[in-house]
Amino acid sequence: MTHVFARRRRPSGALGITLLLPALMTACGVESDADDARFVAADLEASLLVAPGYGGCGDVDLYAHDATDTHALFIRANGFATDAWNAGATVTQRITLPSPDVSVVAQSGVRLTSATCSGAFPMPGPRVRHSWVAVSGVLFTEVTPDPAGTPFLPLATARARLRNAVLVDPTTGTQIRVADLEIPATSVGLYPP
């Protein structure tokens, strides 16, 4: 079963997505990991639609999540803030997925973003129930150096847009389609250990 995200315009410009759900499943219980993954995929889509949040850090880690932190989408683009600092200007990139330069993963579970960006302040880690990995699509990134940073502390602002992506749960084969998902500008940067 394939699930689809499509973008919805919101006046706030925050993470706006519209959901196109497949026919509702009528099974009363979960019979296998694949059935469970299908139910969870539908929950993931609905949760990101109802109460999306977003954040970021590092060089560069971005994420979108629901209000309960039980469904999230993570984008890791190693070195993108440093690239912007070295260029001395905004760096935009169009990346065809999959790519060795980025990782795009959707997850369901508990406290999914709790340990993201918590480097100096360890938090209880997430408990991941299911993961979906991007196997196709296009990721657009824009990273702008922040003048408050330095070459050793490359603070920046990053935004990302994921289009026409297919994410697959490698265990069950369940797919999620992301037609258009945007993570608006958020602060990121590489902090020394």
Give the pTM: 0.74
Tokens (6 digits) for 107: 């997850």
Output DSSP code: residue 51: S
**Could you tell me which residue, 192 or 132, shows the higher pLDDT?**
132
Instruction: Return the closest-CA partner of residue 189 out of 141, 153, 147, 143.
Output: 153
> For the segment 5-42, what is each residue's pLDDT rounded down to a tens digit?
433 333 333 333 322 222 222 233 334 555 566 666 66
From residue 152, give the alpha-carbon distance in Å to each of 28, 60, 141. 55, 15, 22
Q: What is the pLDDT of residue 122?
A: 60
DSSP string, 110-123: ESTTTTTT-TTS--
Q: What does the alpha-carbon distance between residue 147 and residue 119 come to, in Å, rounded to a whole number?
A: 23
Q: What does the alpha-carbon distance between residue 192 and residue 185 come to, in Å, rounded to a whole number?
A: 22
CB contact burial 121-158 (16+ within 10 A = b; e otherwise): eeeeebeeebbbebeebebebbbbbbeebeeeebbbbb
Kindly state the percentage of the chain with pLDDT values over 70. 67
